[in-house]
Amino acid sequence: CLMERLLLCRGKAVADFSGPDCRFLSFKKSETIYVYYKLSGRRTDMWAGSVGSVFGYFPKDLLAVNHIYTDKEHEIPETDFVCF
């Protein structure tokens, strides 16, 4: 699975977070979050990952990483994602 190859790390949420729109991941403190992307450029404070089957962006400071799958970094094309 492509997503498994992109998996960077996982961790536990250190606080609740309610995303402002559908592009953001909402979660409760202590939920497990899987990280697939670490944003660069203007938004180095945000990562992208999932809780269960829900995917979205979240502030990286709200995650306590407890397992690193890879430390290799890959640059991927810039994408937009839209709420409907």
Q: Supply the range of the domain harboring residue 34.
A: 2-68
Q: Which of the 8 DSSP states describes residue 2?
A: H
Tell me if 29 is assigned to some domain: yes
- Provide the whole-model pTM: 0.82
* pLDDT tens profile 33-49: 999 988 877 888 999 99
Number of domains in the chain: 1
Task: Map residue 32 onto helix, strand or coil.
Answer: strand
What is the arithmetic mean of pLDDT over 12-19?
A: 98
Specify if 18 maps to a domain: yes
Q: Which of 25 and 2 is assigned the larger pLDDT?
A: 25
| pLDDT cut 70: percent of the chain above it | 80
Looking up residue 14, the CATH number of its domain turns out to be: 2.30.30.40
Q: Average pLDDT of 60-76? A: 87
Burial of residue 66 (number of CB atoms within 10 Å: 0-12, 13-18, 19+)? exposed
Q: Sort 63 into a burial class: Cβ within 10 Å, 0-12 / 13-18 / 19+.
A: buried
**81: in domain:** no
**3-class DSSP state of 9:** strand
